[in-house]
Structure 1
Amino acid sequence: MRIVIVGAGQVGFHLSRHLSLEGHDVVVIDRDPERIRRIERELNVLPLLGSGASAKILEEAGIDRADLFIAVTNSDEVNLISCLISKEYGVKRLVARVRNEEYLSPGSPLNEEKLGIDLLINPDRVMAEEIVQISQVSEAFEVVEFVRGRVALLGYQVKEDNPVCGLSLAELKGLRGIYDFVVVAIVRDGQTIIPRGQDVIRPEDKIYVVVRKSDIAAIEYLLNFTSRAPKLVFIIGGGRVGFLVARQMEAKHIDVRLVETNRERCEELSERLSQSIILNFDGLDAQELIEEGIDQADLVIAVTDSDTTNILASLLAKHHGARKCITRIDRPDFIPLLGKLGIDIALSPRLVVASQILRFVRRGAILSVATLLGSEAEVVEIVVPPSKRFQQGVALKDLPFPSGAIVGAVTRGSEVIIPSGETILKPGDDLVIFSLREAVSGIEKIFAPE
């Protein structure tokens, strides 16, 4: 597939790297010579210096042969104009990142449908939705849903005092009783392992588990994790993301205390949020935070525009007894360092947006893709095709599955199956597969329609 990407910032770079590794023909356009040099130096793509809103530059990029166009510059106008130009050249699928909420309103004359753009993605909305979803499973550092919310992939960090430490996956399987789950990956010392029965869980491992959503509580009990919906949440930063998170948490009847330094913004938030308590002080003021009950907080969400403030506010909250923190980080290269500092979850808006776009970029039988932050792995949702191989049904163990991939769940109609090697796959089955990035092409070959 030929893909043209306009914008070589963090989102564009991440998308380019991911899609080029999958074997797609990727062209990247940007006006910044330094970004173009980085792309040229580090990625196997075609870099092009110029404006994505220029028809001449788009022609040089071969826009008339493109199957997919993605515009992720920092300018809404450039993103929209470049999409509209690409549409005139016959590109079938268009994606644009937009920050202005007006473009997302159903009644707007410039919304997604009226512009003819397949996906308009707003970073603030996507970030807020990710935060709220993670907050509902308090022990997990990552939560991704599949099959219309019936299957969940959960990431947990195993502490030293957890009784599952020292158990092999085969031993863990023997303890699970009536509740099925699959440990699809272990991340240890920065390396992602697709585990087998003999692999042993160690302290500080990050494990990824696929479960039926209805079984989450039972599986957490078995694995000695205890999640509960937060009752008291502090939000540090009253910007767009902070406001959107507060509004969604109000709808869930959660006690929200939103800290914002700007007095005028506090007055605006007070008018727009009916139940949240708006606090006008610095999010790094320990005395004020303690007086307002930060030590009793189930969750602290630091989402100011400053990485430094977010990191320090999270560390301060944890020091004074907050149970969990979610920290916004604009520099994704900092994320691997923050866990060692005691920060529970670090989210980069750019990587969250890139992951959402990759879910939209469907390939063949693949329905969606979720890239896992801080891991060279992803989860794909794929439908078994009506090909000759699957007509009579085939056992998982009989498929030439790449070693870097594992099936976490099979959905057939209303039934969700947590599979074993004996599970029979049939045409129309919906699979959730955890895969190292280099194994994706092998998965595509197995499930390619004839």
Structure 2
Amino acid sequence: MRVVIIGGGRVGLQTARLLVERGHDALVVEHDPERCEFLADEYVATVVEGDGTEPSVLRQTALDRTDAFLALTASTDANLTACLLADRLADGRLRTVMRIVGEDDAAYRELVDATVDPERAGGRMAANAVETDVRTLEDTAGDVEIAEITIREGAPVADRTLADIALPRGALVVSDVSAGTIAGPETKLVPGRTYVIAMVGDVADEVVNLTRG
């Protein structure tokens, strides 16, 4: 897969590294000349110097041969502009991904294929490092959160099957990680075992309380 990344800062560089490690081709567009020199010395991806919100610069990136377009600068407005321009220049064939900086992504979901928030991801990792029995795996579209939760001894749901408990509306036990099985009505929530649970944000606290006691 060929990927064009707008923004060669820390987020853009790390993303390029990961994609290249996974066997993809990456091209990075960066407006700062000194940063371009640094990126070139890293030998991670092809580097184009220029403003990623300018059509003339985007035309240099061979969008007709590109599969995905990631706008990862520190400006939400610039990222949106770049994605919309690239999508137009590529006749809608690109998968567009934009970085959101300090904003709710709800306003952007209909305009691009996906949004990312590195600060929120960093916060999730920090919270995971503190809590050993609740580990957020992913934020999905909308307000749905997917987490691994370990059942504590004495919790309200401990040693009960899913058929026997009433989880709040907006919560779903997906699988028993410890047993490696998909959850069903007969699945018992055993203390010490870990389960994947999908939940809408406003019921997350209630779900955690039920599994902790």
The TM-score normalised by the length of structure 2 is 0.83
> C-alpha displacement at 1:234, in angstroms?
0.4
Aligned with residue 326 of structure 1, among 75, 94, 97: 97
Distance 1:307 1:435, change over 3 A: closer
Distance 2:156 2:116 in 1: 41
Candidates 239, 246, 249, aligned match of 2:16: 246
Following superposition, the deviation at residue 345 of structure 1 comes to 1.4
2:29 aligned partner: 259
Quote the Cα distance in structure 1 between the aligned partners of 2:177 and 2:102.
Answer: 37
1:343 equivalent to 2:120? Answer no
Shift, 1:371, TM fit: 6.7
Partner SS, residue 290 of structure 1: helix
Q: What's the offset of the Cα at 1:237?
A: 1.2
Distance, in Å, in 1 between the alignment partners of 2:4 and 2:23 is: 14
> What is the alpha-carbon root mean square deviation over aligned residues?
2.7
Q: How many residues matched?
A: 211
Offset of 1:256 from its aligned partner?
1.0
2:160 equivalent to 1:394: yes
Matches of 1:433 and 1:356, distance apart in 2: 18
Superposition TM-score, scaled by structure 1 size: 0.42
Identify which of 8, 22, 39 aligns with 1:269.
39
In structure 2, relative to structure 1, the CA distance for the partners of 1:437 and 1:243 (3 Å cut) is closer
The runs of at least 4 aligned residues of structure 1 exceeding 4 Å deviation read 386-391
- CA displacement at 1:373 relative to structure 2: 6.1
**Cα–Cα, structure 1 residues 374 and 262, in superposed 2: closer, same or farther, change >3 Å?**
same
Matched residue, 2:128: 359
% identity of equivalent residues: 26
Shift of 1:324: 0.8
Partner SS, residue 447 of structure 1: helix
Structure 2 vs 1, CA of residues 350 and 373 (structure 1 numbering), >3 Å: closer, same or farther? Answer: farther
Equivalent residue number for residue 51 of structure 2 = 282
Distance of 1:317 and 1:448 partners within structure 2: 48
Deviation at 1:389, TM superposition (A): 7.7
1:399-422: CA deviation from partner (whole Å, max 9, x where unpaired): 23222321011123xx42111112
Residue 379 of structure 1 is matched in structure 2 by 146
Change (3 A) 1:442 1:313: closer
SS of 1:282's partner is coil
CA shift for structure 1 position 314 = 0.7
Task: Report the CA distance shift for 1:387/1:325 in structure 2 as closer, same or farther (over 3 A).
Answer: same
Aligned 1:136-215 pairs, distance under 5 A: none
* CA shift in 2, pair 1:284/1:368, >3 Å: same
8 A contact 1:360–1:369 mirrored in 2 = no
Quote the Cα distance in structure 1 between the aligned partners of 2:118 and 2:155. 43
SS in 1 for 2:51: coil
Partner of 2:195: 431
Assess, with a 3 A threshold, how the Cα gap between structure 1 residues 444 and 277 changes in structure 2: closer, same or farther.
closer
Q: Secondary structure at the match of 1:356?
A: helix
Unaligned segments of structure 2, at least 5 residues: none
Query: Cα 1:442–1:337, aligned 2, differ >3 Å: closer, same or farther?
Result: closer
Q: Which structure has the larger Rg?
A: 1
**Can you give the 5+ residue segments of structure 1 that lack an aligned partner in the other structure?**
1-230
How much has 1:291 moved relative to structure 2?
A: 4.1
Structure 1 segment 115-134 matched on structure 2, within 5 A: none
Q: Greater CA deviation, 288-297 or 379-388?
A: 379-388
Say whether the 8 Å CA contact 1:259–1:281 is kept in structure 2.
yes
Distance 2:208 2:5 in 1: 42
Q: Which amino acid aligns with 1:247?
A: R
Q: Distance in 2 between matches of 1:280 and 1:328?
A: 20
Distance of 2:175 and 2:127 partners within structure 1: 21
- Name the CA distance, whole Å, in 2 between partners of 1:350 and 1:390: 33
- Mapped to 2, the partners of 1:400 and 1:323 lie a distance apart of 43
Report matched runs for 1:62-81 at 5 Å.
Answer: none
The amino acid of 1:280's aligned partner reads E
Contact 1:405/1:433 (8 A) holds in 2 = yes
Deviation of residue 359 (structure 1)?
A: 2.7
Tell me how far 1:386 sits from its aligned partner.
Answer: 4.3
Shift in alpha-carbon separation, 1:436–1:252, aligned structure 2, 3 A: closer
Deviations 1:140-162 (A, max 9, x none): xxxxxxxxxxxxxxxxxxxxxxx
